[in-house]
């Protein structure tokens, strides 16, 4: 299936739909073993790009055997941003007094946040064997 994607990118390049730089970037994404064919989409305009992530994942493997695997839907993040604007003032103040400042969330564009998070990858390997991974899929 990747050969089909390669062929499609080269056809778009020869048709002048994309530039050499865009073709190079797309081909390099196809070479990324982390990127699967179902993550590559083509829009109606013929643009090939990586599919927007659906989940924010947090995976923890502790050396003592504890495991955490959290999968948060990106739609929930976008909804949370919108809901933060609806919090009553006294609730926001109480949260702020405990270190949770949500005042800036209402100014965020949910789609911009999702796009920014799409390239997020955090890997932590501690000396005692604990592993933490935060990423989108």
When computed from its CA atoms, the radius of gyration of the chain, rounded to whole angstroms, is: 20
Parallel, antiparallel, or unpaired for β 131-136 and 121-125?
antiparallel
**49 vs 14, more confident:** 14
Q: Give the pTM.
A: 0.47
The DSSP element (H or E) to which 111 belongs, if any, is helix 110-117
Looking at the chain, the whole-number percentage of residues with pLDDT higher than 70 is 69
| pLDDT attached to residue 20 | 83
Q: Which residues does residue 60 pair with via DSSP β-bridges, in sequence order?
A: 68, 132
Statement: residue 9 has pLDDT above 80: yes
Q: What is the DSSP string of 42-79?
A: E-TTS-EEEPPP-EEEEEEE-TTS-EEEEEEEHHHHHH
Predicted pLDDT at 95: 76
Q: For residues 43 and 64, what is the distance between their CA atoms, to the nearest angstrom? A: 46
Q: Which range has the worst mean pLDDT, 21-30, 45-54, 120-129?
A: 45-54
- Whole-number pLDDT of residue 83: 64
């Amino acid at each position: 299936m990747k050969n089909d994607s390669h062929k499609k990118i080269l056809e778009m390049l020869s048709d002048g739909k994309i530039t050499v730089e865009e073709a190079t970037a797309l081909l390099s994404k196809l070479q990324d073993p982390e990127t699967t064919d179902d993550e590559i989409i083509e829009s109606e305009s013929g643009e090939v790009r990586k599919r927007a992530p659906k989940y924010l994942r947090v995976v923890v493997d502790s050396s003592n055997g504890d495991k955490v695997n959290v999968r948060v839907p990106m739609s929930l993040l976008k909804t949370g941003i919108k809901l933060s604007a609806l919090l009553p003032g006294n609730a926001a103040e109480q949260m702020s007094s405990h270190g949770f400042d949500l005042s800036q969330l209402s100014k965020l564009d949910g789609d911009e946040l999702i796009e920014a998070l799409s390239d997020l990858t955090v890997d932590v390997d501690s000396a005692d064997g604990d592993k933490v991974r935060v990423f989108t899929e």
